Chains A and B, each alone.
Chain A
Amino acid sequence: EPEVTQTPSHQVTQMGQEVILRCVPISNHLYFYWYRQILGQKVEFLVSFYNNEISEKSEIFDDQFSVERPDGSNFTLKIRSTKLEDSAMYFCASSEGAGPLHFGNGTRLTVT
């Protein structure tokens, strides 16, 4: 069964550094998402992306965050200058449209 893949599985970075989290969505899906989950908390929406542009973003997704689909398969989340509070699991998801989201296994980001 096709799946969403994310790399790396764990990223450790120093405060102020830039990180790029990578995702390969399911190939025939058109809608892409990033969600965040702080340890022990619920899954929070960050941003949705369709037709090569952001379709919606949450208040968490400030100017430090950006997303890109650099080629036909990858979907990336960049955090320009990481803060301690950015430490979380970051999940990529994709969907065909109104159907259910399919999630990757996440990238655990640790900011020190």
Chain B
Amino acid sequence: GQQLNQSPQSMFIQEGEDVSMNCTSSSIFNTWLWYKQDPGEGPVLLIALYKAGELTSNGRLTAQFGITRKDSFLNISASIPSDVGIYFCAGQRAPSGTYKYIFGTGTRLKVLA
């Protein structure tokens, strides 16, 4: 189906460490998005990926569109306390006619100062 599984579910890291998380599916997606959600707020877009193999950075964040088109990866370098939150991947299977995105199960990140 269109289930997106994120790993790890949660992680505690020390400030300054690098973080890696991934999103996998049994289905092929044409677009991957990565969002961060703070408590009580809506998801905020971090990075958008549109082509298989694409590697895109946004400051300390780097994301990659997996070559199989069934997965995506997000790395955060030199983590800081404000990186705390839930990170969601979202995939779009076009052409769908609706452009809806399916969200992953989320990775909860906690940074220890």
Contact = CB atoms under 8 A, between A and B. Distances in A.
B44 A45 contact: no
A14 to B, nearest CB: 23
B42 interface: yes
Contacts of A33: 100
Dominant secondary structure at the A interface: strand
Where chain B touches its partner, the secondary structure class is: loop
A108 B42 CA distance: 11
Contacts of B44: 103
Contact of B98 (A55, A102, A104): A55
A21 B89 CA distance: 26
Interface residues of B, number: 25
A105 B99 contact: no
A31 B103 contact: no
B82 interface: no
Contacts of A31: 98-99
A11 to B, nearest CB: 14
B97 A105 contact: no
Interface in B68-99: 88, 90, 92, 94, 96-99
Given A56-B100, A103-B43, A106-B40, 19 more contacts: A4-B42, A31-B98, A31-B99, A33-B100, A42-B105, A42-B106, A43-B88, A48-B99, A55-B97, A55-B98, A56-B97, A97-B99, A98-B92, A99-B48, A100-B31, A101-B33, A101-B90, A105-B40, A108-B40
Interface of B: 31, 33, 35, 40-45, 48, 88, 90, 92, 94, 96-106
Interface of A: 4, 31, 33, 35, 42-45, 48, 50, 55-56, 91, 95, 97-106, 108
Task: Report the 3 A-B pairs with minimum CB-CB distance, sorted nearest first.
Answer: A103-B42, A56-B98, A43-B103
